Structures are given as C-alpha cells and as structure tokens.
Amino acid sequence: MARSRTEVDRRVQEFVQTCRRRELKVTHQRMEIFRELAASEAHPDAETVFQAVAGRVPSISRDTVYRTLSTLEAEGLIRRVEPVFESVRYDANVGRHHHFVCKVCGAIRDFYSEAFDSLPVPPSAESLGQIDSVQVQIRGICSTCTHGKEAMRNRGSR
C-alpha cells in the first residue's frame, strides 16, 4: 500500500528542512531513499529500498543505500523496525506511533494509541539504562490473512 503523493511530498519537504537545519547534505540519493520510505506503508527492508531506488537511479549502489539508511537512522530521520525472525525494516514515520506485525505475511502497520503513549516505563526497565523511546509492538494475524484463511475454509466446506 502506498501513501498519497501529497503526503509523500510533505514528508520529503520536512526531511529536506530537517537535513538543512542539521547541516546534513541533501543529496539526490538521500532524497530518493527517503522518498521510497516515505511512500511506503510496508516498512521495507534495505534490499527492497535498494531495488526500488535502483529502478529510478541506476547508478546507486547497495552500499550507498545501506550506509544512507544507517546515517538517516543515526540522525533520527527514520526508524528501524525489527520484527522477530526477520531482517531489519525501516520507517520514515518518526512521530509517536506503534506497530502491528502480522505473524503470517510479515506486514507491519502503524497505529496510534494515546493509552499506549501514556504507559509508564517500569522501574525495572529504567534501571537498565537511559530510555530514549518506547514503542509497543503487537503481533497477530492481519485482516487480509484472516479473511484469506476464512475464504479457504469456506471453499473447503462446499
């Protein structure tokens, strides 16, 4: 699923402004990599980003994509999403939100919850070190996979 062009353009403009404020170079490659993340709701992994960007920028290397993702993450311009048993995926949405991860198809979807946002950090976690952020990850079966299983059962019962 893709975001609207207006939303992608808005995120890219915010990205450019943030880079300039932080005195980070706004290169064509960085713009295209960020644009790919901003356009996707799928939280793509580095290889998926590389394949998509290489279609538009044939001269880009895998190394450039991997290093750029690492730099953007270190600068807080994107987030790493690390589903269990899968490769690292990336998210251009750095605003406060949480993730639903489908354990069947691997889809990752953003969701928002004031209740989760206001959960206190337990003292046992605080004692482990400095807390930078808290995100809730919910794992389950997405509605697409659930409906697919129901359709398969319904076909089998005929």
Last residue of a domain, one of 77, 94, 111: 94
- Can you give the CATH number for the domain in which 114 is found? 3.30.1490.190
Q: What's the pLDDT tens digit per position in 50-87?
A: 999 999 999 999 999 999 999 999 898 998 887 666 77
Range of the domain at 5: 1-94
Residue pair 137/108 in contact (Cβ under 8 Å)? The answer is: no
User: Do 16 and 84 have their domain in common?
Assistant: yes
- Can you give the CATH number for the domain in which 29 is found? 1.10.10.10
**Tally of structural domains, the chain:** 2
User: Do 88 and 110 have their domain in common?
Assistant: no
Q: What's the pLDDT tens digit per position in 83-118?
A: 666 778 889 988 899 999 898 888 899 999 999 999
Last residue of a domain, one of 39, 70, 94: 94
Name the residue among 88, 76, 81, 90 with its Cα closest to residue 132: 76
Residue pair 108/101 in contact (Cβ under 8 Å)? The answer is: yes
User: Do 78 and 110 have their domain in common?
Assistant: no
User: Do 79 and 1 have their domain in common?
Assistant: yes
